[in-house]
Structure 1
Amino acid sequence: MSIQRVVAVVQDGAEPFGLGAICEVWAEPYHPDDDNPVFDFTVCTEHPGVVTGRAGFDLVVEHGLEAMADADLVCISPKHDFDHHAPAVVEAVREAHERGAWIFAHCSSSFLLGQAGLLDGRRCTTHWRYAEQLQRAFPKALVDPDVLYVEDDRIVTGAGSAAGIDAALHLLRRHFGAKVAATAARRIVVPPHRDGGQAQFVRAPVREHEAETLAPLLAWISGHLDESLTVERLARRAHMSPRTFARRFRDETGTTPLQWITNQRVALAEELLENSDLGVEQIAQRAGFGNGATLRHHFTRVRGIAPLAYRRRFTCIESA
């Protein structure tokens, strides 16, 4: 299903950042500098009129739940009292998914999906602070508290705050390609891609000096993805033992060196598939995978689609 019509559902106690993050990605008007897709975007609620907001302001919403009837994507905005949702809203979301719509639950709105029975047997996440509560409330759900977002059978659940933007960019990338997602990220001024499996938070404190962080090394890695990047080599470059380096890397990035580098290589391959006529073997070399078979394995595992199928979906370029 191609996403064209997007509906955000709000309830009393609406969290302003949650709704704002949804609007930032899906309600943006066309701009010639971006050449961005424009969506038929609607905000709805159970009883049209005034919807109370949490942070000292209210919303005036004109549309009722019938707006969800033909939505391609339903975005559930979080609310303050997140473990209580109106039965009519729960049922409307369940019906939307049953007829084939995508559902995105931002932050604690995952609880609404649990009440709709949509988390049973599915991987999901929510803000780390509420993950145990979500698991207790819905024991059949497969709650992962350590990730930014999860996609499972047209249901996307995101962790707190900024992770909602990461999840929305993931959906943009999935349906419209890396270029569209990167353009949206540039406009919002956020990183173009944070992998869903990245940890929700990292243990390392903010450091005062760049030399005390791995940021320069990460930038260097991004420019040398076609080379052999072993932990031993990177540790030497960072002037650390391999064990200390691996621990520091996870503390600062929330993932392992291998996972981070693989995701960067997949992102580079994605860009080359969209914007060049290079063959899979050439792309594999440039991205550091070595050969096409390795590229296909990692690309399909991370993106859920084979490289050439990805190219056919998002470009007019055909290559062997």
Structure 2
Amino acid sequence: MKHIVLLALNNQSGSALITPLEILSQVAESQDLKLTVATLSGGPVVSRSGLEIAADQPLAEVGAADAIMITSCLDYQSDPEQQTAALCWLREQHRQGTLVGALGTGIVFMALSGLLENRTATADWQGVSRLREAFPDVDFDPRHTLIECDGLVSCAGGYAGDVLSLYMVEQMFDKDTAERCAAELMLDTERLWQNRHPGLLEYRLHRDNRIHAVQSWLDKHFAEKINLEALARRNSMSQRNFVRRFKEACGEMPLGYVQRLRIEEAKRLLEQSDLSVEAICDRVGYLTESHFRQLFKRYVKMTPARYRGQMSGQARSGRG
């Protein structure tokens, strides 16, 4: 029987625990899997929204585990003595070969344990500068959704709970089990298992956290009609100040960045799906196929059909 432990802390995001719990519970219905929700004291924890989450047992009483998921780290200093014991426990589990994963702010807790020293981990774009200052011996690389380094798995981004949970399932069982679970829960595996827009990393190499937040929102909503005034108001800025600040941070105007997001997604779909150009045009947010083709050729320097053929040829060459 496989044993996965979910470490829950006070004042954490409720969804950071509930999402993995839902996914792993689904797997436990058909696989030999034991789930344990552990807290530092063994008592319930309260999420930042006020949701009380019950624990199965205190961390000190948890036996051997095959995998551990640290689901958050917003209130890790509430009990320094228990925190120290938890970090020691984490180090010992990893020494014994347990796969240790952390999502979102849980990466901070993993870093506090010292396990990430001289290793690489991912992080959220908005917090990576602070993490680099706090943990200079860790190589934080926010360009990737998930990074595994020596049995330590870090996962960041809006779908971190889904991504890390399915990764754990794949490691504990196999990819078929993970894909079956994703299908049963209607999760978008293409979205979860790809670094969606690797061609746009250069536009993330700045330190304006508010603009990173805007970009993270656009990464999910680029196919919708974007209203600059509403977007600026949503982020407590005037439209003029928002556009200026976005351009200074990214070197690109907001709508230009949206176009690049759409084209990058179109490239991904041309590479990885059999969707028609018309269907891809609609999926990425363009009203007319002619406009999409015009923009695609401007950014990619070739037509969608030629791009698909070129990528298909490279894939066949790689397999051969």
Q: Considering the TM-score relative to the shorter chain, is it more than 0.5?
A: yes
SS in 2 for 1:56: coil
1:1-320 matched pairs, under 5 angstroms:
4-28=2-26, 36-81=30-75, 86-193=83-190, 194-195=192-193, 197-198=195-196, 201=216, 203=218, 206-208=222-224, 213=262, 219=269, 221-223=271-273, 238-240=293-295, 242=297, 244-245=299-300, 289-291=315-317, 294-295=318-319
Offset at residue 173 of structure 1 (A): 3.0
**How big is the shift at 1:12?**
1.6
Q: Are the structure 2 counterparts of residues 137 and 92 from structure 1 closer, same or farther at C-alpha, using a change threshold of 3 Å?
A: same
Please tell me whether the aligned partners of residues 25 and 168 of structure 1 are also in contact (alpha carbons under 8 angstroms): yes
Q: Aligned partners of 2:274 and 2:158: how far apart in 1?
A: 32
User: Corresponding residue for 2:246?
Assistant: none
Contact 2:73/2:109 (<8 A) preserved: no
Amino acid at match of 1:116: S
| Aligned equivalents of 2:74, 2:19: Cα separation in 1 | 16
Partner of 1:229: none
Separation in 2 of the partners of 1:67 and 1:207? 48
Q: CA deviation at 1:101?
A: 0.1
Residues 250-287 of structure 1 show CA distances to partners (whole Å, capped at 9, x for unaligned) of xxxxxxx89xx98xx8xxxxxxxxxxxxxxxxxxx9xx
2:26·2:181 contact (CA, 8 Å) conserved in 1?
Answer: no
The percentage of counterpart residues that share the same residue type is 20
Q: Is the 8 A contact 2:14 2:47 kept in 1?
A: yes
Task: Say which SS state the counterpart of residue 63 (structure 2) adopts.
Answer: helix
* 1:280 paired residue number: none
Q: Distance in 1 between matches of 2:164 and 2:136?
A: 24
Higher normalized helix content (fraction of residues): 2
Q: CA-to-partner distance for each residue in 1:212-260, whole Å, 9 max, x for gaps? A: 95677755543459xxxxxxxxx998333545148xx9xxxxxxx89xx
The alignment covers a number of residue pairs equal to: 243
Shift of 1:178: 2.9
Compute the displacement of 1:82 (Å).
Answer: 5.6
The amino acid of 1:129's aligned partner reads Q
CA 1:203–1:8 in structure 2 vs 1: closer, same or farther (change >3 Å)? Answer: same
Shift of 1:19: 0.2
Aligned mates of 1:24, 1:45 — CA distance in 2: 18
What is the Cα deviation at residue 203 of structure 1?
Answer: 5.0
Unaligned runs of 5+ in 1: 226-234, 250-256, 266-284, 297-320
In 1, the alpha carbon distance for the partners of 2:76 and 2:196 equals 24
**Which structure 2 residue ranges, 5 or more long, are not aligned?**
198-214, 226-258, 276-289
**Equivalent position amino acid for 1:105 in 2:** A
RMSD: 3.6
Tell me the TM-score normalized by structure 2.
0.64
Counterpart in 1 of 2:240? Answer: none
1: CA distance, partners of 2:32 / 2:26: 7
Cα drift, residue 126 of structure 1: 2.3
CA-CA distance at 1:89 after TM superposition: 1.4
Tell me if the contact between 1:150 and 1:196 (Cα under 8 Å) persists in the aligned partners: no
In the alignment, residue 71 of structure 2 is paired with which amino acid? S
3-state SS in 1 of match to 2:315? coil
